[in-house]
């Protein structure tokens, strides 16, 4: 009994033992809670990229993402001719081009899934993008080439427009003022040709014959501009008659340069009757110098008369016909204007600067332009200071008399002028 009593613990010992056991239980519970939270967090993180199963991670398939390709730069607009300008307020209308690729943004879930790809899949992803880009480049390049070729393709020639009557035709104005334009021509044009009366009448008959063939035999009460492209003539004439059946009367004549065959990209100036319409909008020269220090369209503000696309006879190779842009314009006043009277252009009609100003100021060929301006359309090429004649015309007529010798009234450039033809003179229109 004594021995048993010695092994019996005291009350204080039991008390302290209980306190220690409780503390151990609290620590164990806290540790278990932290472990549970950590496990839940790990499971949540794993769920975004895979499912936890028996200690391994199984990748969840992610929707493939198409690579984002930047849109290619817009194809350049067809360039304006060298040395030409339009006012800042005038702009070409925008048009959609076929098959232009548009970048498509990735969906938000796909962006999130691909934000941090696994290192093992990174190489495969890069290879996949390179492959997709390579496959996509072929149609993209094809569409760009298609757009470029469309921009470079010649326009379809405009159909003839119904000619709008000029002021004199609408009001029955007496033609005395039209015939008085002879004095204005002589006063304002420094380079004139003195054509004998017999040749004036012959050209008048040739003009009528050409108009008859083109369905304009009754044209009257308006000015008509006539060009003889013959190598031995190279002249431009302004004609007028008051009513059908009258003989055409010459107002004035000057030397020109038409297309000179024999070099690449040089056309023979086309023959025919060409209507001057705003659908082929004129423009003005900037007066800038090309690489040969030549002003191809003449001094600044000279007007380029645009008659649209025409079938021109190629002056190189085996000949044949190709579309060419047919224009009438001034040329470099110092370097090329002295050459007027000989074939020297790429197919256009070069005229003296003073004649360009005369046509522009008096609206000799602006009947259709003035009609559109009266309707409220913007004809920005028409100057506010112009004094358009009531007998404004519509047509430029090009003929070829095929003369075998040079008439005395239409001399060509002298030997001294020909000897000073500048380098690169055959590179401009």
Residue ranges, the chain, pLDDT below 70: 1-155
The pLDDT, as a whole number, for residue 214 is 97
> What are 4-26's pLDDT values in tens digits?
444 444 545 555 556 566 666 66
DSSP 88: T
* Torsion sign (Cα): 405, 206, 315, 280: positive
The pLDDT, as a whole number, for residue 45 is 42
Coil/strand/helix, residue 70: coil
The pLDDT, as a whole number, for residue 253 is 98
Residue 295 buriedness (CB in 10 A; 0-12 / 13-18 / 19+): buried
Place of tokens 């890069």: 126
CA separation for the pair 224, 246 (Å, rounded): 14
| CA count, 13 A, side-chain hemisphere, 255 | 24
DSSP E strand boundaries for 185-257: 224-228, 235-240, 249-255
For the chain, how many helices (H) and strands (E)? 11, 13
All domains of the chain in start order, with CATH: 180-418 (2.40.440.10)
Q: Are strands 235-240 and 321-329 parallel, antiparallel or unpaired?
A: unpaired
For residue 324, the cross-strand partners are: 310
| CA count, 13 A, side-chain hemisphere, 5 | 2
Beta carbons within 10 angstroms of residue 73's beta carbon: 7
CA separation for the pair 258, 267 (Å, rounded): 9
The pLDDT, as a whole number, for residue 85 is 55
CA separation for the pair 247, 242 (Å, rounded): 9
């Amino acid at each position: 009994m004594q021995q048993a009593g010695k092994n019996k613990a005291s009350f204080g010992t039991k008390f302290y033992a209980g306190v220690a056991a409780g503390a151990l239980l609290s620590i164990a519970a806290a540790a278990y809670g932290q472990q549970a939270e950590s496990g839940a967090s790990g499971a949540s993180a794993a769920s975004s990229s895979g499912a936890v199963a028996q200690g391994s991670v199984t990748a969840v398939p992610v929707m493939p993402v198409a690579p984002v390709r930047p849109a290619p730069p817009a194809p350049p607009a067809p360039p304006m001719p060298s040395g030409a300008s339009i006012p800042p307020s005038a702009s070409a209308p925008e048009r959609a081009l076929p098959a232009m690729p548009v970048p498509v943004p990735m969906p938000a879930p796909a962006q999130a899934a691909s934000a941090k790809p696994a290192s093992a899949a990174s190489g495969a992803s890069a290879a996949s993008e390179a492959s997709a880009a390579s496959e996509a480049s072929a149609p993209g390049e094809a569409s760009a080439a298609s757009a470029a070729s469309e921009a470079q393709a010649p326009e379809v020639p405009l159909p003839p427009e119904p000619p709008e009557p000029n002021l004199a035709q609408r009001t029955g104005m007496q033609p005395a003022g039209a015939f008085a334009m002879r004095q204005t021509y002589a006063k304002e044009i420094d380079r004139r040709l003195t054509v004998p009366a017999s040749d004036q009448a012959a050209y008048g008959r040739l003009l009528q014959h050409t108009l008859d063939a083109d369905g304009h035999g009754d044209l009257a009460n308006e000015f008509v501009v006539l060009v003889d492209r013959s190598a031995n003539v190279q002249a431009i004439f302004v004609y007028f008659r008051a009513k059908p059946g009258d003989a055409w009367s010459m107002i004035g004549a000057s030397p020109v340069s038409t297309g000179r065959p024999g070099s690449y990209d040089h056309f023979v100036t086309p023959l025919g009757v060409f209507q001057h319409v705003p659908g082929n909008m004129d423009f003005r020269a900037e007066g800038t110098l090309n690489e040969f220090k030549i002003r191809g369209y003449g001094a600044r503000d000279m007007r380029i008369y645009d008659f649209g696309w025409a079938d021109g006879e190629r002056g190189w190779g085996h000949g044949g016909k190709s579309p060419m842009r047919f224009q009438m314009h001034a040329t470099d006043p110092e370097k090329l204007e002295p050459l007027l009277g000989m074939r020297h252009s790429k197919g256009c009609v070069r005229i003296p600067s003073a004649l360009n100003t005369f046509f522009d100021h008096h609206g000799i060929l602006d009947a259709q332009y003035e009609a559109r301006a009266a309707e409220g359309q913007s004809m920005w090429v028409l100057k506010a200071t112009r004094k358009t004649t009531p007998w404004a015309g519509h047509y430029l007529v090009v003929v070829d008399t095929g003369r075998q010798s040079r008439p005395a009234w239409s001399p060509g450039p002298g030997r001294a002028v020909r000897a000073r033809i500048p380098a690169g003179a055959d590179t401009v229109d």
